[in-house]
Each structure stands twice: as C-alpha cells, then as structure tokens.
C-alpha cells in the first residue's frame, strides 16, 4: 500500500496511473462542487462528501455516519474510480476533509493517499471542466470492525481518545453546530488542523510523533479518533499512520452523536 501522504512530485511521476479526487466541503454551507467547478487540479474528479462519503445524519447516528458500502462503491464507480485505481485526494484546507475519503479507502484495503499541500501544492493553471472518465467497477466491501469504534469504546477508558476539533470547541467555549458544547470525558485535544503548517503541508514525522506523544500516544497504543461528525477525525488517523504509530480507530458518530444523548456527561475546559 502506498504511503498515506504523498507530494505532488510523486503524483506527477505516476502519470495517469492514479486518480485525483477533489473532496472540498465546507461547514459554513458553501458548495464544494461549486468550488470544484470554479477551478480544480487537472484531471481531478469531484467526490461529494454528503452523497458518497456519508449517509443521512440523525441524532442517533451523528451528522455524517458512514454510508452503506454499496453507496460508497457506486459513487466512486460513477466518477470513474475503480478497484485498480490508486486515489490521491485533496481539498483546500490541509486535507482535513479529503482525509475522510483516504481513510475509507485505506480501511477497506485500497491504495489511497492525501496530496500534501492540497490544492495549493499546484502552481499551474486550474481546470474548470470535469474530466471525461468512463464508469468504473468498484467492489463494495464492508467497513472493517477492527478500524471502527462506537460510543462505548470512546468512553471505556481503555483507549487514548483524541478530539480533532479546534481547541475552543473541545473546551466548550463555542459550539456552532452540535446540541451541546464540550467534549467526551477523558478525551485529549489534538486539533487536526495543527498537523499541517501554514502552507497546508504536513509537519515532519518527528514533529507529528511529538504531537501524538504529548497526548499520550505511543507505539502500539489503542487510539480512538473523533471530531464533530467523524470527518476531520480521519485527518488525525492519517497523520497517526504517517507518523508510524499505527492505524487507530474512527468513532464515526463523534460529538454529534454523543452530545445528542442528554444522559451522557459533557466535559469542558482543558
């Protein structure tokens, strides 16, 4: 399997052997598809987070539960991504959204990576027309239980539980979208956006390892990652793997599910 993070030079060396996937999405309601149509990397296809990478949200399951494997497979096949295609995903926010696609593909045994630097890594002219790709064959595979955590796993005290949201949301100072402010008791704050530098490129492996070690993650640790809805939590899992610290597990329901249950306590502060 390819490295979970690759640079533009590596991508260009592969020629047409890889598929670029634009996975822009915005919490503030802006259209990721409109951003794609206004300019994307040459040859990139658009993968819609809401339609392909998530099922319909609910308080019981969270805002972005994993889709049925058949829905995921059909969505990728429709844009020309097949079983044989390594996928390089990007966005314009350091990969925090595109990581969802990369995690889903890697978790099910497919070659996929984040483009280091994302959209800003490319300095040439962007394209506005979608590429002409024929429908591909992508086989639906079940989500592997070993790569997933549920609400009980996230509260058991047996794992290092990482919260990928910004510190203000972790502390409970603000909560722009979910029912309650705060975090899962016992979780540690590791904002995913700090895995990259100001240019959107990943920190060096030693720097990433130091970040994880600062919140109690060591080699072989059982790590559970969550965020607001299980999307940006994937960025911490990609960074964890990139740093050589294992695969970790995703809690898809994340804070949007947890905070919807009034019977569960919410922690605030650091």
Q: Count CB atoms within 10 A of the CB of residue 35.
A: 18
Half-sphere exposure (Cβ direction) of 37: Cα atoms closer than 13 Å: 6
Across the range 197-209, mean pLDDT stands at 96
Sheet holding 19-22, edge to edge: 5-6, 112-115, 87-90, 19-22, 45-46
Indicate the pLDDT class of residue 68, thresholds 50, 70 and 90: very high
pLDDT in tens, 107-141: 999 999 999 999 999 999 999 999 999 999 999 99
Strand partners, 90: 22
pLDDT in tens, 70-115: 999 999 999 999 999 999 999 999 999 999 999 999 999 999 999 9
Mean pLDDT of the chain: 96
Q: Which of 112, 190, 227, 245 is catalytic?
A: 227
Across the range 26-35, mean pLDDT stands at 95
Q: Count CB atoms within 10 A of the CB of residue 251.
A: 27
Distances, alpha carbon 191 to alpha carbons 108, 114, 237, 238, in Å: 25, 18, 12, 13
| Residues listed for the chain | 270
Task: Specify whether the CB–CB gap between 29 and 50 falls below 8 A.
Answer: no
- DSSP code string of the chain: ---SEE-HHHHHHHGGGSEEEE----TTS--HHHHHHH-B-TTPEE--HHHHS----BTTTBSSPPPPHHHHHHHHHHTT--TT--EEEE-SSTTTTTHHHHHHHHHTT--EEEETTGGGG--SPPB-SPP----------PPPGGGB--HHHHHSSSSEEEE-S-HHHHHTS--SSSSS-SB-TT-EE--GGGGB-TTSPBPPHHHHHHHHHHTT--TT--EEEE-SSSSTHHHHHHHHHHTTS---EE-SSHHHHHTT-TTS--B---
CA distance 71 to 97: 19
Task: Specify whether the CB–CB gap between 79 and 33 falls below 8 A.
Answer: no
Position 264 pLDDT exceeds 90: yes
Position 1 pLDDT exceeds 90: no
Domains of the chain: 5-121 (3.40.250.10), 145-258 (3.40.250.10)
The predicted pLDDT at position 219 comes to 87
Position 249 pLDDT exceeds 90: yes
Indicate the pLDDT class of residue 220, thresholds 50, 70 and 90: confident
| 227 is known as an active-site residue | yes
Task: Specify whether the CB–CB gap between 44 and 121 falls below 8 A.
Answer: no
* % of the chain exceeding 90 in pLDDT: 97
Closest CA to 257 of 56, 58, 54, 62: 62
Across the range 13-26, mean pLDDT stands at 94
């Amino acid at each position: 399997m390819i490295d979970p993070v690759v640079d533009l030079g590596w991508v260009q060396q592969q020629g047409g052997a890889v598929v670029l996937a634009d996975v822009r999405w915005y919490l503030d309601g802006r259209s990721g598809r409109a951003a794609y149509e206004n300019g994307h990397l040459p040859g990139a296809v658009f993968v819609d987070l809401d339609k392909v990478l998530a099922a319909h949200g609910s308080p019981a399951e969270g805002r972005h539960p994993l889709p049925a494997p058949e829905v995921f497979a059909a969505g990728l096949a429709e844009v020309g991504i097949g079983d044989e295609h390594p996928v390089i995903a990007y966005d314009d926010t350091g990969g925090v959204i595109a990581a969802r696609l990369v995690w889903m593909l890697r978790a099910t045994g497919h070659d996929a990576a984040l483009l280091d630097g994302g959209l800003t890594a490319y300095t040439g002219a962007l394209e506005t027309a979608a590429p002409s790709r024929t429908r591909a064959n992508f086989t639906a595979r079940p989500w592997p239980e070993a790569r997933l955590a549920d609400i009980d796993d996230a509260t058991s005290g047996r794992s290092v539980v990482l919260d990928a949201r910004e510190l203000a949301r972790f502390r409970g100072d603000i909560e722009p979208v979910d029912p309650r402010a705060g975090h899962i008791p016992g979780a540690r704050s590791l904002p995913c956006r700090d895995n990259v530098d100001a240019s959107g490129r990943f920190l060096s492996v030693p720097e990433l390892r130091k970040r994880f070690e600062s919140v109690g993650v060591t080699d072989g640790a059982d790590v559970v990652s969550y965020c607001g809805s299980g999307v940006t939590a994937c960025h911490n899992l990609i960074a964890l793997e990139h740093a050589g610290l294992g695969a970790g597990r995703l809690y898809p329901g994340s804070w949007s599910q947890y905070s919807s249950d009034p019977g569960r306590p919410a922690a605030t502060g650091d």
